[in-house]
Amino acid sequence: MYNEHFGFVESPFTATANSRFFYSNDLYQEAFANLRYGIEWKKGLIVMTGEVGTGKTTLLCKMMRSLKPTTHPVFVSSDQLTYTELLRFISKELGLATDGKDRLATVEQLRDYLITLHKKGHVAALLIDEAQNLSDEMFESIRCLSNLETEKEKLLQIVLTGQPELATRLGQLSLRHLKQRMVLHCRLAPLDKDEVGRYIDFRLQEAGYEGKDLFSTEVVSQIAYYSGGIPRLINIICDNALLLAFAGSQTKVTTEMIQEVARDLGLKNSFQLASESSATVIESTADELCNGSLEAVERQKEPVRRQKSGLALTPIAVALVMLGSTGGALYSEQIKYYLAGLGTSSKGSTEVAQTGGNRDPAPPAQSIVLTEARPDFPKLKPTKPQPTPSNAEPSEVQQRQIQTKPRESLLGRFEVVGPFSFVRRRPRSDAEIIATLQPRTQIKVVSTKGDYFRIQAVVDGKTIRGYVHREDAFFERAKANGQRKTPGQSNNQASIRVPSTVK
């Protein structure tokens, strides 16, 4: 309606998912790269979550269009399918006939076709949008589809996208078998306040606008104020504001127009509301976190996130990459120790319960005991040593010493064993990515700062220094006997094995 008035080739702020208007920043690039990596390297089950309007579907469509011709994606947007209907839909999209076949025959036909694709070096991927609305029966169907595999690789790569409730659903006890198969979890977050203006300019440029600024700095601040950085809300506010400007024969959008749109839509300060919500969650779950409640971790990890970072590579994904395993995940005692090692920081044992917002690892089916925070012990006067029975349990002080001992293994020289170990200029999620460490790169971990390793390495003939987040740290240390050891592992855990029979 207003395109001719403003000189647009097409409407810049449509609410529908259009991959041509895909806005990219560090967070979205990271999620995009990990989705492609998970599919093309046949990792199995991948999950992407984000609030309504953060661009999950747009990112998914953009990623699908970027896949190689040898990749065959099947996109499902309906959440009301039965298992049989899903099987027939997948088969139809892959060019298979399903007329007159029962469910077992359809599964066998699909499996045989996937094996044929695998032998040709092709990849089949199932992408399900709005997965938070799926029934438990459908989740079980997805688990059955994930069983289609060879001895080394998954035959069908599965991507589930949805709102944060999807992570909560997967955290249910009844879905633990499916959650244990998740190897990648990407989380999308709203744009920062400073990025809203760049997003608006990008949309205008893609729509062919070449005129003067339509949105002043004050107007952009208002849009950020009411949208909370959610792209869909930004689009809706801008679209309505342009309509008001067009109706009033104006050539610019004013703050009064933004405020009128906000009143009509019932919008408030979304950034402030999000902050208050996060603070409430932290306060209400602090005691549960210290007591080791996995349900508290699941509720806490969605609202409390590291700024501008929505990606989380689950610790089990790190373990699988280091093991070279493509099968299911077994949360053995060794994996528990490995998770505890990643959660330790220089601030004390309480860091186990809070490891950096959205990068919180997905809790396994078995319980992980979160170490309760203890006050520093007062200095004691020297006393005569007392004999201790061999079967006596270690004292509380000894337990603390034992818990902190593995920190010594966090530093030193390591080898990169997996892709997408991002090196940032500073230990922050919004810091510039200065390099990506490739497999077999030799690095040195110099120190730790919060959830980051400070490393130095030689990349393309140049020495780089930067920070790698713990969950991006695909590192192993070479030992004298040829085995490798991961940062945070104790000496008796140098080898972690996941039985191939575990699904």
- 268 is written with which tokens? 């408030």
Is the dihedral angle over the CA atoms 74, 325, 452, 441 positive or is it negative? negative
Query: Is 48 a residue whose pLDDT tops 90?
Result: yes
Q: 133-175 pLDDT, tens per residue?
A: 999 889 989 999 999 998 889 999 999 999 999 999 999 988 9
Query: Is 503 a residue whose pLDDT tops 70?
Result: no
Query: What's the confidence (pLDDT) of residue 361?
Result: 40
CATH number for the domain formed by residue range(s) 406-493: 2.30.30.40
For the chain, give the percent of residues with pLDDT over 70: 66
Q: How confident is the model at residue 290 (pLDDT cuts 50, 70, 90)?
A: very low
Task: Tell me the average pLDDT across 494-503.
Answer: 30
Quote the CA–CA distance of 244 and 141 in Å, as a whole number.
49
Contact 303, 182 (CB under 8 A): no
> 406-493: same fold as 193-268?
no
Quote the CA–CA distance of 78 and 494 in Å, as a whole number.
45
Query: What's the confidence (pLDDT) of residue 403?
Result: 47
Torsion over CA of 484, 485, 491 and 496, rounded to 10 degrees? -80
Higher pLDDT, 360 or 38: 38
Quote the CA–CA distance of 231 and 199 in Å, as a whole number.
8
CA 187 to chain centroid, in Å, comes to 4
Under CATH, what is the fold of the domain 19-188? Rossmann fold (3.40.50)
Task: Give the lowest-confidence range in 154-158, 365-369, 394-398, 471-475.
Answer: 365-369
- 413 is written with which tokens? 């020289």
Under CATH, what is the fold of the domain 193-268? Helicase, Ruva Protein; domain 3 (1.10.8)
Q: 430-457 pLDDT, tens per residue?
A: 677 788 787 888 999 999 988 889 999 9
Query: Is 374 a residue whose pLDDT tops 60?
Result: no
Task: Give the lowest-confidence range in 138-152, 154-168, 215-229, 297-311.
Answer: 297-311
Distances (CA, A) of 399 to 280, 328, 365, 403, 405: 33, 33, 25, 6, 10
- Judged by DSSP in three states, 415 sits in strand
Query: What's the confidence (pLDDT) of residue 409?
Result: 65
Task: Report domain extents, the chain.
Answer: 19-188, 193-268, 406-493
Residue-wise burial string across 440-461, b where 16 or more C-beta atoms lie within 10 A, e elsewhere? ebebebeebeebbbbbebeeee
